[in-house]
Amino acid sequence: MGGLLVYSLVAGLFSLAGGLVVLWQSRWAQKLVTPLMAFGAGAFLAAAFVDILPEALQRSAEPQPILVATLIGFVAWFTLERLIMKLRGGKAGHKHSEHTESLPFLLVLGDSLHNFIDGVVIALAYVANPILGLPTALAIAAHEIPQEIGDFSILLNLGWNKKKVLTVNVIQSLLTVPGVILGVYLGQAIEPNLPLILGVTAGIFIYLSASDIIPELHHYSSHKHVFRIVLPMIGSIMALSYLSYLAHLSS
């Protein structure tokens, strides 16, 4: 169990590497807000369509329940955002800030759920074959680096200071630990439902990218730039797709 907890820490904390680079060079990152936000949007889309959904479909005999779970995740996060906007919004007319103020909360919550599920996946792999524990943890850490870069960049752009960004991301990265513990003790009960949980997570990531990050990107860049936005998005999709491919080769 001790070794498995170490693997969960490896997966959670090593995935922070890319984000820490952005944090360390925050002034440089602020000058590249637009491409970094585009990079983050692409990373969330790639995580959903290239990594999470294929994993869910591979674990399921039927694709329809996974796609329904994805739709549920999307609608659930839309509903949650509307509730947040209603609770936090003023009586005045709609303002752009009423929409973006809910984005950090949704972003952190969605990524926290993903890290927790990563811990469950590490535990299930370890229980199936202890040799797979470390490679699975390293693979998870590697393919989450682009996503962490996106997280750090977006939160910095939304006005979070470096200390707050680092603290929140470290805490949510450590959620792989309770995921591992739950995966070990409830593995047989969780495993049949894991594809549905992954489907919901994919729906959350699609919503975060398509409904929150990309509209914010359009608002921030206005009518300016094309390749400065499109190329980083494509680059992050290609990077995460390649890392996901390598992860599946090692598993």
pLDDT in tens, 107-117: 788 778 878 88
Helix (H) or strand (E) holding 200: helix 194-207
pLDDT above 80 (res 22): no
pLDDT above 80 (res 188): no
* pLDDT given at position 197: 84
215, two tokens: 């509209």
Q: Band the pLDDT of 191: cuts 50, 70, 90.
A: confident
Burial class, 135, CB count within 10 angstroms (exposed 0-12 / middle 13-18 / buried 19+): middle
Residue 142 neighbours by CB under 8 Å, 6+ apart? 14, 15, 243, 246, 247
As a whole number, mean pLDDT of residues 38-59 equals 85
* pLDDT given at position 35: 80
DSSP 17: H
Task: Give the Å distances, CA to CA, from 166 to 11, 19, 124, 181.
Answer: 16, 9, 29, 24
226, two tokens: 């094309």
108, two tokens: 């952190």
* pLDDT given at position 91: 43
Q: Band the pLDDT of 90: cuts 50, 70, 90.
A: very low
From 36-40, 201-205, 208-212, the region with the lowest mean pLDDT: 36-40
Q: Band the pLDDT of 101: cuts 50, 70, 90.
A: low
Angle made by CA atoms 165, 169, 170, in degrees to the nearest 5: 115
CA 73 to chain centre: 13
pLDDT above 60 (res 55): yes
Distance CA 122, CA 130 (A): 10
As a whole number, mean pLDDT of residues 33-40 equals 76
241, two tokens: 């797709």
pLDDT above 70 (res 33): no
pLDDT above 70 (res 189): yes
pLDDT above 80 (res 70): yes
* pLDDT given at position 139: 62
Distance CA 232, CA 235 (A): 5
Largest Cα separation within the chain, whole Å, is 58
DSSP 186: S
Higher pLDDT, 105 or 21: 105
What tens digit of pLDDT does each residue of 115-127 get? 888 788 778 767 6
> Of the candidates 16, 248, 12, 20, which has an alpha carbon nearest to the alpha carbon of residue 135?
248
What tens digit of pLDDT does each residue of 217-226 get? 777 676 777 8
Q: Following CA atoms 175, 181, 184, 185 in sequence, which dihedral angle do they give, to the nearest 10 degrees?
A: -130
Domain-wise residue ranges, the chain? 2-250
What tens digit of pLDDT does each residue of 128-143 get? 556 656 656 766 676 5
Q: Band the pLDDT of 92: cuts 50, 70, 90.
A: very low
Tell me the DSSP string of 54-109: HHHHHH-S-HHHHHHHHHHHHHHHHHHHHHHHHHH--SSS--HHHHHTTHHHHHHH
**pTM summary value:** 0.67
